Amino acid sequence: MKFRRIAAVSATLLGAASIATFAPAAHAATSGQNTLTFQLSGAASLAIAVPSNPSAVSGSVTTGSVVPVTLSNSTVTDNTGSLLGWTVTADATTLTDGASPAHTIATTNLVWLTGTVAAGTTGLLSGVAAGGGGAFGVAPITVARALANFGGGTYTYPATVTLTVPVNTYAATYTTTVTQTIA
């Protein structure tokens, strides 16, 4: 009979151990969480690339004649990660023929017109637009801009600069330097 009691006690203990092995503990987790942190840094580059110099264009010295120069695409790249926005401006030097004494044409006779701004594969057009353009003169002209919280990535735009020939213009080849600046 001792054998039966030992066997019964052993069977009871084994059964209890089996149940404990397969039953989940009262405090077992049914889900878990991980916190992922991504530290993104900007490339610290806010840059503009302007097209090559266009070929010389010809026009008449007749007062009021309009002589346009079409510029290929300029490219703005904002990889700063700041999303502070940016503004591209353009300014021009007085037109001169280089003679001695020099003949000049005031920059107020030059007008800038920005074409359509296009987003590259890394840019979005939201909050990015062409500037108002206008006649050169005392202050630089706004060419293109991105509002705060926009403008990350790459953008392109063409432009046209037009000279309206003023009264009493000397017939010569005039040169000006147009500088685009991004800030």
The domain spans of the chain are: 46-182
pLDDT tens digit sequence for 104-163: 999 999 999 999 999 999 899 999 999 999 999 989 999 999 999 999 999 999 999 999
Q: What percent of the chain has pLDDT over 90?
A: 67
pTM of the model: 0.78
pLDDT tens digit sequence for 81-94: 999 999 999 999 99
Q: What is the 3-state secondary structure (H, E, C) of the chain?
A: CHHHHHHHHHHHHHHHHHHHHHCCCCCCCCCCCCCCCCCCCCCCCEEEECCCCCCCCCCCCCCCCEEEEEEEEEEEEECCCCCCCEEEEEEECCEECCCCCCCEECHHHEEEEECCCEECCCCCCCCEEECCCEECCCCCEEEEEECCCCCCEEEEEEEEEEEECCCCCCCCCCECCEEEEEC
